[in-house]
Each structure stands twice: as structure tokens, then as C-alpha cells.
Amino acid sequence: MQNLYIGVMSGTSMDGIDIALVNIKEKKVTSIASDCYPMPAHLKQLLLTLCETKQTSLQNLGEIDHILGQLFADSINQFLKDNQIKKHQITAIGCHGQTIYHAPSGANPFTMQIGDANIIAAKTGITTIADFRRKDMAYGGQGAPLVPAFHKAVLQDPYINRVILNIGGISNITVLIPQYPVIGYDTGPGNVLLDGWIKEQLGKNYDQDGIWAKTGNINQDLLNYLYKENYFQMPAPKSTGRELFNLPWLHNKLAGFNLAAQDIQSTLVELTALSISNEIKKLPIENGLPCELLVCGGGAKNPLLMERLTRLLPSWTVLTTDTKGIKGDDMEAIAFAWLAYCKINNIPSNIPEVTGASQAVSLGVIYQ
């Protein structure tokens, strides 16, 4: 008997709705199919405005929540049709939702993901699991990152020091060192500043293969100034998002600099690579085992960024997760299918050492 689960992810980059179909049986996760459905341009702009201005009306917020729920449901139904899968074959859907604000610190920490899961369950006719982050936060955790538990389940190797690096809008790492507690956290920006800058300057959604950045030069003064941001100095556990790293943040930092746009793009690539590599260099690796950095997410497709990571980490073998049988584009969608499986089976799915929660708990809320 198959135990089929669907995972749905729309990340910080907001470039599409990633959907993955997996079979999970006795803790073995097998990817069956995947696809990406576009995020309508007008909806992406609404979300970007919401995230970056942090201003809205209750009606606007409620309507976007509804529209996203409809989009997720329609995308899932199209995915089922495209792959000739009947809804009764699916045990559950795990949907991350779209993060519009993440504030894990302060007197009243909270996180907000929207995309009404009631609509997803109603329109697909499939049990839906959503709202994965807030229970971890209720136990004192950051609510992020959540994917390290999945990485541990499928990619841990007793004979290799591994770091799994996801470069989406934000970059996050999972550290899998044999005989060492699993840790994981957001290192800082991934593609969020790169995509925002080229969109503003050239009207493009992203810098294909880093070609534009290659025409520029790294400005060391700007790089040093950007890296002084307090987040980079904070110890883990920590997490971040567009509420910190966004175009207004970048423009504020650029005041006083007079640089060519492509030099800024090149410097932003280096900022992403540097903020990642500096965290990896801090790791307590003294066991003599080989070291692998496995990269997934959109940044894995940027040869310039991969080249800079390789240069900054000469003792690490830099590969993509595709080389280990998990497509980098599918990683997070598959992870949320796995998190749905954990909820249905009441299996703890956070790692307290990663998030800072006081205990391990099964995450998510069931919508039927």
C-alpha cells in the first residue's frame, strides 16, 4: 500500500508554487512527481508590498489570504490532473503557506503564514496540514528552520560531515556532523537582495546564471559595511526573512556609496557567499572525515554563487543535492510532505537544538 503525501511550498522568493508528490513508508521517502506553478505577477506584487512596507488593512490581508488559499488549491488540483492522481489516493497535503512576517524575538514573538488551509482542504477534498511554525514557537523556539529534521532523516551519513545549504530568498543550513547534535539556522540573505536589485534596475526577475553580476566588481568597502548588520553576528538559533533583508534595507545601506549597479549586484553575491561560508568555517570539525556541502534551492543554479562558495570553502566538496537523489528545486516541498506525514502519525518533527524550543513536538494543524 502506498502512503502518498503532497508537499506545497512558496518560499521567500515568491517565484512559484512548488508541489511534490512523495511516497512515505517506514520512514523511507520516495519522490514520485513534482512541478512548479507560476505565482501571478499581480499577486506577487501584493505580497512583496505587504512584506516590505509592513502596512495593510484588515480587509486587504484577509483577501490576500483567501486568494492564496484558492491559488494553492487550484495548483494542487491541476497537479493531480497532470499526474493522473485521484484525490482519494492522497493521505494528506502539507502546505507551508506564504510567510509575510517572521518575528521570533522580542516580548511577544510571532510568525505569520497566509494562504487559507480551509480553502485548500475544501477545494481539493484532501486533509491538509498547515500552520507548522507556531507550535514550535509556543514552546520557545524560533519556528524555523523546520527542514533540518527532514535533512537528518534522509541525508545523514555516519562517515561524512555534511552541511545541507538551501539558498532560496533566505539561505539556511543544516549541519550533520557524525556524533554531534544536529543544528540549523538561517545564515542571512540568499537570493532576496539579488532578485530585488536586478528587478529594480533591469526589470528582470532574477540574474540568469549570475551573468549580470559577472560584469561587475566586488566593492570591499560596501561588502564590509553590509556584513556589519547585527544579524550576521548573532549566535544560533536564529532565523530571518524579508522583514529584515529587503530593498529598503539595501537602499539605506547604499547611502553614501556611488557605485555602478552591476558592482552592487556582484557585491551582493559575495555577501550571500560570505555569510554562508563564515558560518560553515565556525563548525567544530575535528574528526578527519570528508566534508560535503550539498546545495539546493534556486541559488544552486547560479554558477557564480556556487563558484564563490567553492572558493571560500576550499576544504569542502561543493555539490548539489541532485547528486544525492533529491532535486534541489523539490527539497522544501518534499520536506513539507514529510512534515505532514509526521503530523498524521503524531511524530515529533522539530529539533529543539535547531529551533531553540524546549521540547520536540509534532508540528502543524489538521484541516479537514
DSSP bridge partners of 365 = 130
Strands 128-130, 90-95: pairing kind? parallel
Counting Cβ atoms within 10 Å, is residue 247 exposed (0-12), middle (13-18) or buried (19+)? Answer: middle
**Angle between helix 148-155 and 331-344 (nearest 10):** 90
Residues placed in the known binding site for ATP: 11-18
Which residue, among 302, 38, 338, 332, has the nearest Cα to 166 in the 3D structure? 332
User: Is the bond into 145 cis (omega within 30 degrees of 0)?
Assistant: yes
How far is the CA of 245 from the CAs of 13, 32, 51, 76, 91, in angstroms?
Answer: 12, 35, 10, 30, 37
DSSP code for 256: T
User: Is the bond into 237 cis (omega within 30 degrees of 0)?
Assistant: yes
C-alpha 251, offset from chain centre: 24
Q: Each residue of 162-196: b (16+ CB within 10 Å) or e?
A: bbbbbbbbbbbbbbbbeeeebbbbbbbbbbbbbbb
What is the rounded distance in angstroms from the CA atom of residue 138 to the CA atom of residue 140? 5
Counting Cβ atoms within 10 Å, is residue 197 exposed (0-12), middle (13-18) or buried (19+)? Answer: buried
DSSP bridge partners of 113 = 99
Residues placed in the known binding site: 11-18
Helix (H, G, I), strand (E, B) or coil at 189: strand
Question: Phi, psi (5° rounding) for residue 327?
Answer: -60, 130
What is the rounded distance in angstroms from the CA atom of residue 31 to the CA atom of residue 183? 25
For the sheet containing 4-9, what is the strand order? 28-37, 17-25, 4-9, 90-95, 128-130, 365-367
